[in-house]
Structures are given as C-alpha cells and as structure tokens.
Structure 1
Amino acid sequence: MAEAVRHVQVIAAQCTAMGPLSQLEKAARELHDALTDPMLGGCQARTGEYPSLLIGDDLTPQDIDKAVDAVVRQAKADGAVLVLALLGHGFTPPQRTDLYFMVRNSTTQSLRSAVDVGRLITEAADEPGIDGVIAIVDTCHAAGGVPDAGRLAGGVRAGRSRLAILTAAAADQPARDMCLSLSLARTLKDGVPGAGPALYIDRTLAETLRDQVSGQVIGRAEYDQDPFPLEGLWLARNPSNIANAHADVVGPLGLQDLSQSVDMWRGPRRSPGRLTRSTLLELEKFISCGRVDDELDSASRAWVDDVVTALLEVFRTKEFLADVLAGSLTSDLLRSAGRLAGFPSRAEGTVPLRDLLEYAVLRAQPLDGAPWKGLARFVAALLHEAGISHVDPRLQEWARRLHLVTEVNDAFGEFAEARQRRALRLVVSLVGAWTEWPEEVDAWLLHGSADLPLHQRFPCEPGGAHGVAQAIGAAMMWARRELPHPELLEHVDIAAPAHLLARWYPEEEKVGRYLLGAKYSVIPRWSGRLDEAEDNAEINDAARKALKKMSSCAAAPVEWIDSDALLDRSALEYRLSTGQYDAAIGVDHSPDDLEEVLELLLPFAPIVLWPRSGTRPDQDQLRGLVQERWHELPDGLAAAYRHRWGAHQHCVACLGDIRTVWHDEGWLEFCRPFEYRVVTTPEEEA
C-alpha cells in the first residue's frame, strides 16, 4: 500500500542581494507543521543531512538540488506522492517568464546563481516511481515556475505523470510577506467547509486563498496524464469534514481493487471518490440480481462480488472491534498488531484500523487457507496485543459467524508461544575485546519466569575467532543444562565491539556440528552499551526515546547516510550530537573504514544497518529493500542469512546482504543494570 506514504520538502531561502524576509521562517515552519501533521497533510517529517524543513541564509543552488534529489529518491523508493514547497525570493529574466529561485548569493544578473524552478519541478514529476508531485511556490513571479507541459510530455515517462502547482503571484507580479504560505497553513489547519474529505489544489482552494490574500494573484495549474494513480492527488485532509471524512468510507486499497474488478467486469469507468457502506450494499444487490449477458464473464463478476463481500466484512469487523476495544484502541496498538500479524508497515495506511482490515481481507489471505484466514490472524493479533483472551465471548461469537474458531485459536496459540520463545534468550558478550579478540566471554541466560538472569563466564581457548566460537558453544551447553524440560533455546544475542561487528559474522561460526545461525536466530548487539561508561544511561535513554518515536512511523524509520556525508566526519558528528538523526541509521554503501564509521554511529542510534562487505547493491535498491522488508526485521534476518548460504548466495541484492546492530526495548532493559553498576577487574574479585 505505497499509497499511504507521502513525502515533503519545504525549502525557505534568504537572499543577501534582495534583503531579508521577516516572515520567511515563520511561514516555512507553519506550512511544514501542517503538511507533516498526521491528521492533515500526512507527510513524513525527516531529519538528517537534508531534513524535510530546510531553512537557511547560506544555502546554495547545489544545496537545493541535493535536498530535492534526496527526497525524490526516497519518494521513488516508496512509490510516494511528493509535496515540494519553495519559499523566498524569485526572479524572471528579461523577456522571459521562467522563474529562478534565489539563495544566498543569487543575483538577477546570473541565472547560474539561482535555481531553475521549472526544471526542478519537472524532473521531480518525471521521475519513474513517484506517484505525483504537488508544488507550492511562494515567491515573486511565482507563476513563472509552472513547467511547460511539453517538458513533461517529452520526458522519460512520456508524460505519464501527475503534477499540481499552487503559485503566490502572476509571472509579472511581486509577492509579499509570505502571504500564500501563511494563508495556506492556516487554511489547512482550519479546513474549507463543504470541500469534502480532502483538499486539492483546485478552484475551491484557490478561491478560498484569494479571499484572504490581496495585491497578488494566487494561481494554480494541474497536469494529469497518469492512467494508474494510487489515489487522488490531495494536498491535505479537510478538518471541516474530519468528523465524517473517514466514517463509513472505503480506503485506497479497497477502492483500487473494486475499481479494477469493476473495470474488468463492465469496462473502464470512473469510480466515485468515496465509497460508503450503502454504495457497497447497492452494488451487492445489483450483482446478486444477475443478468444473462453476464454469464459470458462470470469470473469477472465473481471477482467484483468477492471484493464487495470483503469490504462489507471490513465494516462489520470494525464495529466488532470498536465494541471489544472501546477503551484501548490506539494507533500504537494497531501498528503493533499489524507487525505481529506479519503485515508490512505500509499496510497501516492513513486510517490504520480501516486500512489494516482492508489489507487483511484483500492481501493477507493465503491461497490454500480457509476463507478469512488473514482477517482471523489480524484480529487475533490485535486482541492478543490488547491482552484480551481468546475465550472472550464476543470474539468467539465473531469467529463462529465467519467459521474461524480454529483459525483464531491457532493464531492465539502461535502468538503466545512466540512471545515465550522471544523471552528466552542467551546473551554472549565479547565486551573485553578492546583491540582484537577477547580472552573470555560473559554469558547470561534470560528466562521469562526468572527475576534475574543467570550469569556465567567462559574462557576463549584457543584465542581468536575459533576460541570465541568454542566459548559460545560452552555457553550454549551451560544454557541447555539450566533450562527446564521441554524448553528449547532459539535466540542468541552476540554483543561485540565495533571493530568485530565490522568484519565478523557470528552466525557463520561453527559451534558443534552446525553453523551458529543454521539452528538459532542470532542478533548482533553493540557491547559498548555493556561497558563501564558514564554516558551509558544517557545514550540508552536517547535510544528508548528514538524507539518510541519510530514505533509510530508507518514506513521504515531509517535515516540514510551516503558517501558524501561521510567525507566530513566532524560535520556528521555535529549533526549526530545535535539530535538531527533520531531514528535508525542506514549506511547505503560499504565504506572502507567501516569500523570507524560504526564507532561513530553506534552511540547515537538504537539500530544501524549497512550492506555486507563485498556486496555492491545500488543505493536505491538497498533503501527500497529495507523499506519493503522492514516489518520482518530483525528476526527475519536469520532466515535471510540461511537462504544466502544456499540458493541466494549469488543474487544481486537480497535481505541476506543487510548487516545490522539492533537494540530494541528488550535489549535496552537488559542493559539497564550496566548503566549504574561498579565493574571490578578480575584481580579485584574476591
């Protein structure tokens, strides 16, 4: 459901030659806040080197190009709509109407000192994979930024793209006081009565803004030659219609499937923008009546019937869940249930309950499973996460109605068993490996029923990687002896310093007859969080905050670092220390000095990812792979590594090429005692 992802880039630039704009920063921040509000613009805010809000009095044309290039690549990877806003000074050359966006050292005598707005917007809209571009241009002569339609028609997409532009003034007219951006931000927050559930760059929005702004002509333009859009090119949800905008309405995935099935059955036709339960009931009745000429295409008619039946069940199940979870239904609970059910993060959509249920009935149904099995799994996951028993009478009644009693009970049993297995872990720490390999390792056995983990220390004999493997094997034998029958160890956490994480793959060590990762799920951790260090409490608390923020993200919450960012380590460290990276960090290539890079990044991020040494995946391919498979991480890496040893060993890029250090909430809780304890040396021990 890539239609649920939206990206934004707001750029506000001062120009020395044209004088400061006193309202620029306020306008940019208010517009960015409205566009990234989950209930309004629904765009994803970004931090890092090129954040989604870029304000500066020292920006260059190259800065603008790089920022837009970064967000275009992200929107392409996500199949997303991109909202691009340019705020500041602009000029048009003599005898021409082409708009140039001005930055610090721009002058009206040099086109190279400024940014060609038409080119910038055209290239973004023409990028394959982007679902559409919405541009907001708040400069003098803003209408000059509207691209020539011929530039799009002759592009790489042969014109099959979508673009909507809102401009602050005519091509021969100044714009003052950031009126467009301030009025637009206010309008997005207040809404437009009677405009429907969403606001578009259409006549209604333009006239609303013109009523608020005088002395300059607010303009708009639209280009639409994409025959297969995922949804309408909306700018924001309409707060004036928020009470009923999502009530009783089919979501994007349901609308897409219904449109395709109806087109197959009745031929191409325009579907209504909103589909309600009453609309579906009317269609269901029409289908049930049947017609003689339909018999020649009974398969297409049956497809429509299946989609309508599924969407009507979404409405019924929503009512059931609203009753059972009246006091506990939250967005975080829905996201957690979606991950537990194995749904990709994009399934959460813009209205999580509706969109997850639609995914369950339209995408998560196994071909060989009982009808509604995907729905049973999601509902069971949701109630399991909410702490509601599988014997709750309301759940049993719902399951009986759909003949899903066995499927619901099986799912509850699976989730309970998986939770118990995850709570049972062996932690092996190489914390003493300051330069090379350690002389001994520490091991802890974490058991869900135990208040304190069991601890033991094992020597590494002989030294090196082989000695460490021997010590891990001894630790596993010890853990097996300590476990009560019939419990089995499945999860092994290996905590190692950065210099080993950069070159050592613990799952590939032979421990006994098998490689460690052949029979166990191995998750690498950074041993620095177990060191005796004064700042461990600080970095762990920062990691907890980052994980909490990441849990509310619909898409993969990864901030990517490319080779350019690594060229200036002091600048990168400054951005890290000022909190500009507050999510997972991905290095989109394999740097030669990976050890030093990890040493820099690991204290600042709970999760760090990078490609395996020796692999050379394309940057967009790597980022897209993480985006697509994020919901499987980190546990899914164990199977991915096993596949890589066999049939996938020589593939161009796969999940098995991803290396990671992963610190989740459970690991940070394990680290908590190390934040304050006094560690004695072996010589000081009694």
Structure 2
Amino acid sequence: MTTAAVRHVLVIAAQCAAMGELTRLNEAARELHDALTDPDLGGCRARTGAYPSLLTGDDLAPEDVDKSVNAALQQARADGAVLVLALLGHGFTPPQSSELYFMVGGSTPQSPRSALDVGHLLTQAADEPGVDGLIAIVDTCHAGGAVPNAARLAGGVRAGRSRLAMLTAAAADQPARDLSLSRSLTRTLKTGVPGAGPAVYVDRTLAETLRDQVSGQVIGRAEYDQDPFPLEGLWLARNPAHTANSRADTVGSLGIQDLRDSVELWRGPHRSPRRVTRTALRELRDFVTSGQVDDERRPDAREDVEDVVTGLLEVFRTKEFLTDALADSLSSDLLRSARRLAGFRSLAAGTVDGATEAVESSVPLRDLLEHAVLRTRRRREAQWKGLARFVTALFHEAGLPRTHPGLQAWARRLDVHTEVTDAYAEFATDQRRRALRLVISLAGAWTEWPEEVDAWLLRGGDDLPLHQRFRCETSGSHSTAQAIGAALRWARRELPHPELLEHIDIAAPAHLLARWHPEEEKVGRYLLGARYSVVPRWSGRLDEAEDNAEINDAARKALRKLAAAPAQVKWIGPAALDDRSALEYRLSIGQYDTAVGVDHCPQDLEEVLELFLPFAPIVLWPRGDARPAAHRLPELVRERWHELPDGLAAAYRSRWQAHHDCTACLGDLRAVWHDEAWLEFCRPFEHRVVTAPEEEA
C-alpha cells in the first residue's frame, strides 16, 4: 500500500429540526473524523478555518454543505489527493423515487429542494479533475439510494475516468438506526480487519465485517473504477490487524526519501509516498510499467522511479535471504563490522516529514541494505554491485565461505557471481593486512625518552609474535625515531614477499602521549604516518603491574558496551577536571566505563591522561594547536565514529596539507585507543610473575 503525501477528508454531521435530534451524532462524527485523520490509520489531513474537515451543526443550509464540499475538492485537486467524504444524519427518498436526499437544518421530506441530492453531489465530486479518487460514507436512512447512476459517472469532464467507492448504512427502503455504520466503522478501523491485507478497502471483506456488527439494516457497498492510472489503490485506512504494517515490512526513511524524490520529479509535488510496504511497492511498480500516464511532469524520470522501486523490492528479498542464511550469527556486531568492511563511510540519515531518523548507532539490516542498493552505485556500474559487496561482507565476517550454497544461489539470481568473488578476495587480503602489525613499546621511558624500544611483529593466526629489542643511542625523539626505523627494517627482513607492513602500534607512557605525535616523526625519507597507519597505545598495560588483568578485563567490558551503543563518548569539561577528588571517585565507581573525551587541551594533560588511561579503553582530546572550531570535535567524533581509529591516519595526512578554510578537522583529535586486538596482545603481560631482585653476595 503506497500512501499519498496528502489525503483529504470532510465529515459532515447535520441535525434536522423536522426529523428529531440524533443524540449521538456529534460523537459519532468526531470519532470517525479522528480515525480518518489519524496518521497511523486514515492518514487524512485535518483542516480548520472557514471550511473545516469536520462540519457539524443543527442550522446548516444546503449551500453550507455545497461550499464545504467544493472547498475540500479544491484542496484534493491541488494536492492530487483522494477525498474521503462522510455524510451523517437524516436522509429521505421522495415518493416513487429511490434517490437519497441528505437533510440539513431546515430540510423537510416534502421538499427535495431543501435538502441535497447525494447521488448528484457524489457524481460531481468524483468527476472533479485532479482528484485521485472519492470514498463516500453515507450513514443515513435509505442510504442505498445515494449510489449514483452509472450513466452519470460514465460521462462528465473526465469522460468516466474516475474512481468512487461507497459505504452505505442501509438499503434504499430501510431506516438506519443509532448511527451504527459510523460507529462500527470507527471501531473496525481502530482494531483492524483480519485477513484484509496491509490496507482496509471498501470491499467485500470490510462490508462483511461491518454486517456482522450491525443488525436490522443492510450495510452496502458500491465501487466504480474507470481510472487506468491511479497512483495507488483507493484504500480507506491502514490495517492495524495486518503484520505487514509493522516496521519490519516497511521501507526505511532512506528508501522513502529516494522514492519521494523520484516520484515528485516524475509526477510533481504531493505525489510522494510517506510509509510504504512491499505490497505498495508492487502496486507502484505495476503502475510505473503499465503504460501512458496522463499527468506526467517529467516522462524521462519514470525510469528513475522504476529503478528505486526495483531496488527496494530487492531489499525485501535479500533481507529475507540473509535472515534465513545467517540466522545463527546475524547480530548488531556483525552488521557493524560488515558495514565497515564494505566501506560504508557514512550513512545519511533519512528524513520523513521533517523528522530525521538517526542511523549511525545501531543500524537495522533493512537500512543498510537500502544504503547498499540506493547510495553506493556509481554511474555505469552494475546495479547490484554495492549490494553484492555488503552481502559478501556479512558472509565473510560471519566466517562463512564463498562457496556457501545460499550465497551462490543469491549471486546467480542477481548475476553478481563475479562481484561476490572479487569482494571475498579483497576482504581476505584486507584481513591479512590488518592482522600484520608491528608493535613498538616505549615502556621503559619512565621520565623522559627510552633507552631502548621493544618491537613485536604480529602476523595473525596462532604464530607467536617475533620479538626484538633496539637501543636508542641518545635520549630524545630523534634517537627514538631512529630506533623505530631499525625496528621497521628488521620487520621488513622478516616478512616474505609480497607481504607489506601497513599498521604500527606505538605504546608509550602518558607523559609522551601528552606531547609526542609519533606519526609526525621522520623515519627514513618519510614521516612515519605518511606510509603507515599509526595507533598510539598506553604502555601501562604492558607494565609488570598487579592490576593489569583487572584493568584489561574492565576495558573488555567497556568495549562490549561501546559495541552495543557506538559513539557513546563521555566528554569531560574544565569544571569536572577542576574537582579531581570527585572525578577520581566517579572513576572508582565505574561511572566512566566507556570511551572518555576531554573537550579541551588542559595544561596538565599528562596528569589527566595518567588519571583516565587505567579506567577507559579509549581516551580522546584535541591538540594544543587545534583549529578555531575545535569545540565541534565531539560532533565530528559522533559523525565519524565508524572510521576510528584507522581513519585518524588519513585525517592526519589531510591536516598536513594546505586546507586553511577548514575550521574543524578530525586531524585535530588525539587518541589513545585500546581495542580487542590490543587487549589480546596484552594478555601475556597480565600474568607475569614479578620476583624480587636477587641479593648480591
């Protein structure tokens, strides 16, 4: 069911002095109007002012009703919308006639001119150009007489190309009692119609449901449809009883945004959908491919609509496939890791009705698939290349082989076997590169610079890392950089061709982390960060300390918490740092059990780092020479969290280049980052036996 951007309604409830007061009229009219204007049910737009969408009174005149109907029709025409028109009150049929007249304040059964010819009124309304269809609800005595003559509908300005669906409260020769149709219909719209699908239509299912609730009068329905190119089905309300109306079977905000843009480009404003299900997409696909459309604004844009609809339908199919194939491993962690692996640098939040749906923290599978289908495709690229890359990333991260039967069948259906094979090869290579790391520790630098550095070459798998120690000839950053260069040369000799080292971990004590930027050291011909991704670590986790196991276990728990709610950084301001005793207490009770960010660069940064590093696995702060808008760093971190920490290497390289117009840059961020891989490297240091030095004889 596609829901048009605007639907209009007019509920008219008129008392008639000659027929006696209907005590429940206003209540029934108000409740029906509320259901029809409920965004989750009827989805119609409520109006106030001179011609409101709910018109009640005991002194209404025929011209009041005419003017209100004309105003509602003009609104529906301007918006290309469906109009739902409900008439509640008294009605009569003249002698020797079955035509219904709707009675207002001064109407009498003896004077048809004092009332309104409902059949004529509905015929003119259905014939109004630009109106996408008319749904009429007539809750009066003799309501069956309101059904227009088919000959009337077949002519007119639109030459019969119109749509009308009607519900009537009683047969033409029957009275209607207690506004039973309106009240039963309101209850039904609120509870839903089992078996009716995602939308409630004026069809046999609805009529039978209402007939089961109302006795003593025959609920009737009528339908006329000669419009070959409607934008959507002539639905009365969404069906709460249908499971397809849940979030799981609806298009996400990103998909709705692209669908809205393409439909409005094709057929103009006010044609865009708001909430869409798979059934609605199929209806729209059939409409798009059905042939000539009378009111196209941009005929060439029809193909864009078809592409979006086709992509969104594939999202549903692929989602079902993945939910089944990855039933044992599909989790938020898997989605996040696959997202990073597929290279989804940033997912734009979808906007619906002015409300932005955040998608950066815990992104549903549906939204990731929509991003893969709609936002990753480049010009002249295969339609499903981005989708194939993301699906492959999911299987790779789940530890499933390229030859998985389900994946192979899916790839054959979309003809993306080559894309899947290429992606698997790329991901396997990337995995090997990430596992290959050089760890350099400056743990011995107790006060100034170290006298020697330790280096470990990690190659992944179960192999023990190679270890070597390199002496620093003098004290200072230059000598330390020379020792790092020696470690790099050693690592290159140990690596077989064609393996290349790309990742370096630098573990240093807090006093060096506070003032030293290792990626800016010149090692050989280049700055270290120009050719390697350098991640600073805290060497305190490599010390022979009794509480290493404790702080590392706490870090593992914090990382799991961060995985469940990414980018949850707790930022610390100057006021909190000024009260150190209170801050230390909050740390000791586990209040900062996640990533910690200092929102400024304090004068005593070394002491601040010494305070936070044992408690937080990730500590962030701005450089001392940060750009003027460094206060925006928390916002940048939140937006680009999924790129960290590896994305800092590229940010630092960008910062070295001339981009003076940048007022806030991720390259202004300093970080000490301890992830699961680093904590695993630290595990052997957690259980060292510290022995007292032997006494000399």
Q: TM-score range by the shorter chain?
A: 0.5 to 0.7
Distance 1:683 1:637 in 2: 46
Is contact 1:589-1:616 (8 Å) kept? no
Using the TM superposition, give the Cα deviation of residue 619 of structure 1 relative to its aligned residue in structure 2, in angstroms.
Answer: 5.6
Q: Quick one: higher RCO (CA 8 Å, sep 6+), 1 or 2?
A: 1
Is contact 1:349-1:356 (8 Å) kept? no
**1:289 alignment partner, SS class:** coil
Using the TM superposition, give the Cα deviation of residue 263 of structure 1 relative to its aligned residue in structure 2, in angstroms.
Answer: 2.6
Distance 1:678 1:650 in 2: 54
State whether structure 2 residue 438 is matched by structure 1 residue 423: no
Distance 2:271 2:544 in 1: 65
For 1:463-502, list aligned pairs within 5 A. Answer: 463-502=475-514
**1:316 alignment partner, SS class:** helix
Using the TM superposition, give the Cα deviation of residue 634 of structure 1 relative to its aligned residue in structure 2, in angstroms.
Answer: 0.9
Residues 28-61 of structure 1: per-residue CA shift (max 9 Å, x gap): xxxxxxxxxxxxxxxxxxxxxxxxxxxxxxxxxx
Residue in 1 aligned with 2:255? 254
Letter matched to residue 586 of structure 1: G
Using the TM superposition, give the Cα deviation of residue 289 of structure 1 relative to its aligned residue in structure 2, in angstroms.
Answer: 1.7
Distance 1:478 1:349, change over 3 A: closer
Residue in 2 aligned with 1:656? 667
Distance 1:382 1:423, change over 3 A: same
TM-score normalized by structure 2? 0.61
For 1:181-260, list aligned pairs within 5 A. Answer: 245-260=246-261
The counterpart of 2:422, out of the listed 401, 406, 410, is 410
Letter matched to residue 593 of structure 1: D
Distance 1:299 1:472 in 2: 61
Residues 78-103 of structure 1: per-residue CA shift (max 9 Å, x gap): xxxxxxxxxxxxxxxxxxxxxxxxxx
State whether structure 2 residue 609 is matched by structure 1 residue 594: no
Is contact 2:265-2:298 (8 Å) kept? no
TM-score normalized by structure 1? 0.62
Distance 1:195 1:536 in 2: 62
The counterpart of 2:568, out of the listed 557, 566, 578, is 557
The counterpart of 2:649, out of the listed 630, 634, 638, is 638
Q: Larger deviation: 489-498 or 651-660?
A: 651-660
Distance 1:240 1:455, change over 3 A: farther
Residues 124-143 of structure 1: per-residue CA shift (max 9 Å, x gap): xxxxxxxxxxxxxxxxxxxx
Distance 1:375 1:294, change over 3 A: farther
Distance 1:617 1:195, change over 3 A: farther
Letter matched to residue 330 of structure 1: S
Is contact 2:595-2:617 (8 Å) kept? yes
Distance 1:397 1:432 in 2: 56
Using the TM superposition, give the Cα deviation of residue 295 of structure 1 relative to its aligned residue in structure 2, in angstroms.
Answer: 6.3
Distance 2:518 2:310 in 1: 49
Distance 1:271 1:308 in 2: 13
Residues 127-173 of structure 1: per-residue CA shift (max 9 Å, x gap): xxxxxxxxxxxxxxxxxxxxxxxxxxxxxxxxxxxxxxxxxxxxxxx
Letter matched to residue 277 of structure 1: R
**2:454 alignment partner, SS class:** strand
Distance 1:372 1:290 in 2: 26
State whether structure 2 residue 314 is matched by structure 1 residue 313: yes
State whether structure 2 residue 513 is matched by structure 1 residue 512: no
Is contact 1:576-1:604 (8 Å) kept? yes
Using the TM superposition, give the Cα deviation of residue 342 of structure 1 relative to its aligned residue in structure 2, in angstroms.
Answer: 2.3
Residues 193-229 of structure 1: per-residue CA shift (max 9 Å, x gap): 7799xxxxxxxxxxxxxxxxxxxxxxxxxxxxxxxxx
Distance 1:372 1:497 in 2: 48
Using the TM superposition, give the Cα deviation of residue 390 of structure 1 relative to its aligned residue in structure 2, in angstroms.
Answer: 1.3
Residues 337-356 of structure 1: per-residue CA shift (max 9 Å, x gap): 11222223764676611111
Distance 1:194 1:295 in 2: 35
Is contact 1:333-1:385 (8 Å) kept? yes
Residue in 1 aligned with 2:465? 453
Is contact 1:341-1:378 (8 Å) kept? yes
Residue in 1 aligned with 2:388? 376
State whether structure 2 residue 342 is matched by structure 1 residue 338: no
The counterpart of 1:576, out of the listed 559, 584, 587, is 587
Distance 1:195 1:613 in 2: 65
Is contact 1:366-1:374 (8 Å) kept? no
State whether structure 2 residue 556 is matched by structure 1 residue 544: yes
Using the TM superposition, give the Cα deviation of residue 650 of structure 1 relative to its aligned residue in structure 2, in angstroms.
Answer: 6.5
Letter matched to residue 656 of structure 2: W
Distance 1:550 1:508 in 2: 29
Using the TM superposition, give the Cα deviation of residue 562 of structure 1 relative to its aligned residue in structure 2, in angstroms.
Answer: 1.8
Distance 2:666 2:380 in 1: 26
Distance 2:363 2:629 in 1: 33
Distance 1:632 1:376, change over 3 A: same
Residues 589-614 of structure 1: per-residue CA shift (max 9 Å, x gap): 22222111111111111111111221
**2:378 alignment partner, SS class:** coil
Distance 1:351 1:640 in 2: 25
RMSD, aligned CA: 2.8
Letter matched to residue 255 of structure 2: G
Letter matched to residue 526 of structure 2: Y
Distance 1:660 1:468, change over 3 A: same
Distance 2:525 2:542 in 1: 30
Is contact 1:349-1:355 (8 Å) kept? no
Distance 1:347 1:408 in 2: 26
Residue in 1 aligned with 2:329? 328
Using the TM superposition, give the Cα deviation of residue 436 of structure 1 relative to its aligned residue in structure 2, in angstroms.
Answer: 0.8
Distance 2:309 2:361 in 1: 20
Distance 1:650 1:469, change over 3 A: farther
- Structure of greater Rg: 2
Number of positions where the alignment pairs a residue of Structure 1 with one of Structure 2: 452
Residue in 1 aligned with 2:57? none
Distance 2:682 2:193 in 1: 53
Is contact 2:329-2:398 (8 Å) kept? yes
Residue in 2 aligned with 1:266? 267
Residues 331-372 of structure 1: per-residue CA shift (max 9 Å, x gap): 222222112222237646766111111111122223453322
Residue in 1 aligned with 2:629? 618
**2:537 alignment partner, SS class:** strand
**2:638 alignment partner, SS class:** helix
Distance 1:392 1:383, change over 3 A: same
Residue in 2 aligned with 1:221? none
Distance 1:531 1:299, change over 3 A: farther
Distance 1:591 1:368 in 2: 51
Using the TM superposition, give the Cα deviation of residue 618 of structure 1 relative to its aligned residue in structure 2, in angstroms.
Answer: 3.2
For 1:164-183, list aligned pairs within 5 A. Answer: none
Is contact 1:342-1:632 (8 Å) kept? no
Residue in 1 aligned with 2:683? 672
Is contact 1:643-1:649 (8 Å) kept? no
Letter matched to residue 261 of structure 1: S
**2:614 alignment partner, SS class:** helix
Residue in 2 aligned with 1:389? 401
Letter matched to residue 576 of structure 2: A
Gaps of 5+ in 2: 1-189, 195-239, 348-357
Distance 1:485 1:585, change over 3 A: same
The counterpart of 1:525, out of the listed 531, 534, 537, is 537
Letter matched to residue 292 of structure 2: R
Distance 2:693 2:469 in 1: 11
Distance 1:288 1:442, change over 3 A: same
For 1:2-151, list aligned pairs within 5 A. Answer: none
Residue in 2 aligned with 1:585? 596
Using the TM superposition, give the Cα deviation of residue 391 of structure 1 relative to its aligned residue in structure 2, in angstroms.
Answer: 2.1
Distance 1:593 1:503 in 2: 11
Is contact 2:265-2:297 (8 Å) kept? no
Using the TM superposition, give the Cα deviation of residue 397 of structure 1 relative to its aligned residue in structure 2, in angstroms.
Answer: 2.5
Distance 1:195 1:354, change over 3 A: farther
Gaps of 5+ in 1: 1-191, 197-238
